[in-house]
Amino acid sequence: MSEVIYVSGPYSKGDVCENIRNACLAGDEILQRGHTPFIPHLTHLWHLISPKPYIEWMRIDVKLLSGCDALLRLPGESNGADLEVDTARALGIKVYSSIEEIENGGS
81: in domain: yes
Q: Is the pTM of this model over 0.85?
A: yes
Predicted local confidence at residue 1, as pLDDT: 78
Q: Mean per-residue pLDDT for 79-87? A: 95
Are the C-beta atoms of residues 95 and 70 closer than 8 Å to each other?
A: yes
Q: The domain that contains 84 carries what CATH number?
A: 3.40.50.10400
48: in domain: yes
Range of the domain at 52: 4-101
Please, what is the end-to-end C-alpha distance for the chain in angstroms? 7
What band does 106 get if pLDDT is binned at 50, 70 and 90?
low
Among residues 82, 93, 89, which one has the least CA distance to residue 8?
A: 82
Q: Mean per-residue pLDDT for 43-66? A: 94
